[in-house]
Amino acid sequence: MTTKFNFKELQERPERLAPGHRMCAGCGGTIAVRNVLRTLHPEDKAVVGNATGCLEVSSFTYPYTSYEDSYIHTAFASAGATLSGVQTAYEALKKRGKVKGNYKFITFGGDGGTYDIGLQSLSGAMERGHDMVYVCYDNGAYMNTGIQRSSATPMYADTTTTPAGSCSNGKPQIRKDLVAVMAAHNIPYTAQTTFIGNMKDLYVKSEKAIYTEGPAFLNIMAPCPRGWRFEAADMAKICKLAVETCYWPLYEVENGKWIINYEPKNKLPIEDFLKTQGRFKHLFKKGNEDLIVQFQEEVDRRWEELQIKAQA
């Protein structure tokens, strides 16, 4: 069902997330939503789901909605289950001749609603095999409530519940590898992406996720200028550095096969990524050099593990 990548045609498609929403200027979450929805074939209808979070409170504030498609939000922990109910209703009503047209089902959650409070609901929906896509816009903390750590927050990040201080180096734990968790559900399609260049990687993966029959999971790194503490204009640079340092590799797991979509020719040191963001500022204080070494070791370990999976 997927079509050949055509940047111009994609750009000419009508927006499915209307302007006028109240997301912050430079918000990565909004970029993720706009561009994922752009890959819906214009003739198809969709129901968009959403976990509670920044996106929900800012894009559907009564009496305004930014969605050109039907949309449902229920609660923080329930985006997976809610959309699975919508998708099942579609099957039931189609069978009884009560609904017409081709519908696609896509739900968005931040890392809080996906990695943490909504993980069970997501796991259930994926395991049951609903024909739907769950998109996590991963900005690595609970941004809506004010930058508290999540299990997606990178090690040593300064958040409001893991503040760096005289007795603390920020978050002590490493990030949860949610993509591997989702791949372990043996669903047809799981992928990780972010905003690179003309977004080809994101577009191709979104379309694949939406038009692969059965459940699919997309993990999109969606930097939060406020939470990560960087100038919004640096968004593209930060995404590129995340990929070039192998902090955020671009890869997909298609029917059990792990594929790395981009391997940097010269893998950049992690400092290049860390130093762009205020949340890692304390790592560059004199005497904290070993923290950066540990961070680098963790990035290397994960990258090597991924390469082994991709070679299998």
Residues interacting with other proteins, by CB under 8 A?
Answer: 45, 47, 49, 56-58, 60-63, 65, 67-75, 77-78, 80-93, 95-96, 98-101, 103, 120-121, 123-125, 127-128
Query: Locate tokens 């129901």: which residue?
Result: 47
- As measured in angstroms, the least distance from the Cβ of 50 to other proteins is 8
Q: Left, alpha or beta for 70 (phi > 0: left; psi -120 to 50: alpha)? A: beta
- As measured in angstroms, the least distance from the Cβ of 17 to other proteins is 12
Q: Which CB sits closer to other proteins, 13 or 45? A: 45
Q: Which CB sits closer to other proteins, 86 or 179? A: 86
Report the distance separating Cα 36 and Cα 264, nearest Å.
Answer: 25
The partner residues of 46 in beta bridges, in order of sequence, read 104
Q: Which CB sits closer to other proteins, 4 or 95? A: 95
Q: Which CB sits closer to other proteins, 92 or 184? A: 92
- As measured in angstroms, the least distance from the Cβ of 158 to other proteins is 28
List of residues 6+ apart from 137 with CB closer than 8 A: 28, 29, 32, 33, 55, 108, 109, 110, 111, 220, 222
Report the distance separating Cα 49 and Cα 121, nearest Å.
Answer: 13
Q: Which CB sits closer to other proteins, 99 or 260? A: 99
* DSSP class of 298: H
- As measured in angstroms, the least distance from the Cβ of 81 to other proteins is 3
Tell me, rounded to whole angstroms, the distance of Cα 163 from its chain centroid: 24
Q: Which CB sits closer to other proteins, 15 or 290? A: 15
DSSP letter string over 227-261?
HHT--GGGHHHHHHHHHHTTSS--EEEETTEEEES
- Using CA atoms, how far residue 270 sits from 174, 291, 294, in Å, is 15, 11, 10
- As measured in angstroms, the least distance from the Cβ of 238 to other proteins is 29
Contact 222, 208 (CB under 8 A): no
- As measured in angstroms, the least distance from the Cβ of 133 to other proteins is 15
- As measured in angstroms, the least distance from the Cβ of 109 to other proteins is 13
> Would you call the peptide bond into 63 cis, given omega within 30 degrees of 0 as the criterion?
yes
Q: Which CB sits closer to other proteins, 50 or 151? A: 50
Q: Which CB sits closer to other proteins, 37 or 274? A: 37
Q: Beta strand 103-110 with 45-50: parallel, antiparallel or unpaired?
A: parallel
- As measured in angstroms, the least distance from the Cβ of 217 to other proteins is 16
Residue 100's φ and ψ, nearest 5 degrees, are -120, 160
